[in-house]
Amino acid sequence: MTRDGRSLDHRTLETIRTMAVTRVREGERPSVVIASYGFHRCTIYRWLKTTRRRGHSLTALASRPATGRPRTLTAAQERQVFRWINGKNPTQYGFDFGLWTRQIVRDLIAQRFGVRLSLASIGALLARQGLTPQKPLQRAYQRDPAAIARWQRTTYPAIVRQAKREQAEIYFWDESGFRADTVHGATWGAKGQTPVVKVPGQRQRISAASAITTKGAFWFATYPGGLTGERFVALLRRMLRGRRKPLHLILDGLPAHKTKAVTQYVAALEGKLTLHVLPGYAPDLNPDELVWSYAKRTGTARRPLRKGETLEAQVTQQLTEIGRRPALVRSFFKHPSVAYITDL
């Protein structure tokens, strides 16, 4: 079987050419010499002819810079590129950036295959593999899959067991903000002509907090401005008013949830209230996030404020309607992202 010189790097091939011609000049038969290197017998005569044209100098056998189009990848290598990208991210291959770009793909190909392609070639390669540029789900790079798995498999089931022993209730808590001039959703328009939507002139804003249970219970409150530790304590007081059962509250790691004022307030309740913080950068684990998605998709974004109407009144009315529909509240727990919540 003969060797394909194209599979060798330039320096190795240059060394073989020089050694082969030198051995022939020292008296060995050309056919024997070339056979020892695995090349076709015609190859050695071509090398000898090249040196004769250049005054029998071995420098005539030196490699020259490659010309023409750069070497492309084999079909097997292109399939390997697809396996690198599909379902994975660049950080798994030592890159600091978490999104696939043509530049990162090009760098990875150069590292693994020693082939340098243009960005245009990278784009064509990705298209051949059925890959397209897409806007990713907005999940932070700091998201910790191991911490999320522990929460789903260990931490939350332990909270459920503790709540049952204490005959306590479990609520999921979250906050959100509303603006009167926000436009959500899509609108119809002539093809090729993007519609322009005039936003309401009013600049009203209001914040709200809510909490839900797997049984369909719903609590909410509105408040002006942002959330502080003191305001969070005030909201907790309102939520606990008149409650007899202990409460386990699951919420995110917002700084306002962890201030000294909050810690002291919870400690003073002596077990009546326990706060549990979700893993960082994982809002999809909280079914109460779906309350805000529903509210903004169906309420304030769909009906502009009437003259004289306040945003707070509109939001309060809508959240009150949600509270009257336990089946709707329970439906938020059926979303795939919160499938780990099985105590329904």
Flag whether pLDDT at 141 surpasses 80. Answer: no
Question: In the chain, what is the greatest distance between 2 CA atoms, to the nearest angstrom?
Answer: 107
Please state whether the predicted TM-score (pTM) of the whole model is above 0.75.
Answer: no
Provide the pLDDT for residue 214.
97
Question: Mind listing the pLDDT tens digit for each residue in 278-294?
Answer: 998 899 999 999 999 88
Residue 187 banded pLDDT, cuts 50, 70, 90 = very low
Flag whether pLDDT at 198 surpasses 80. Answer: no
Average pLDDT, the chain: 84
Flag whether pLDDT at 311 surpasses 60. Answer: yes
Q: For residues 190 and 328, which has the higher predicted lDDT (pLDDT)? A: 328
Question: Mind listing the pLDDT tens digit for each residue in 85-131?
Answer: 887 777 778 776 667 888 889 999 999 998 889 888 888 888 888 88
Question: Mind listing the pLDDT tens digit for each residue in 58-71?
Answer: 777 776 655 555 55
Flag whether pLDDT at 191 surpasses 70. Answer: no
Written as one letter, the residue type at 204 is Q
Provide the pLDDT for residue 96.
64
Q: Is the dihedral of CA 340, 136, 110, 117 positive or negative?
A: positive
Question: Mind listing the pLDDT tens digit for each residue in 41-55?
Answer: 888 888 888 888 777
